Amino acid sequence: MVYEHYDFARNPIVEDQAFSLESKCIRCGFRILARAIEELIEEEKKHRTACVLKPRQIIPA
């Protein structure tokens, strides 16, 4: 089962020549900042289980 990413809005951020990734939960607005995509995916996974505004249908991966 492939993770769907429609529930997070991802944005690359370049600040002082440092690259980071921002991901924002489109349901509750929770912001995640990470330096690597793997880290971002992990944090998104964690937030999916912690998000107070769950989607109507959750398909466990």
Site for Zn ion, rule CB under 5 A: 25, 27-28, 30, 51
User: Minimum distance between the CB of residue 17 and Zn ion, rounded to whole angstroms?
Assistant: 30
Whether the CB-CB separation of 17 and 8 falls below 8 Å is answered with no
Task: Decide: residue 39, CB within 10 A, 0-12 exposed, 13-18 middle, 19+ buried.
Answer: middle
Identify which of residues 10 and 27 has a Cβ nearer to Zn ion in the complex: 27
CB of 24 to Zn ion, least distance (A): 9
Q: Which is nearer to Zn ion, 37 or 50 (CB)?
A: 50
Look up residue 47 and give its two tokens: 């937030």
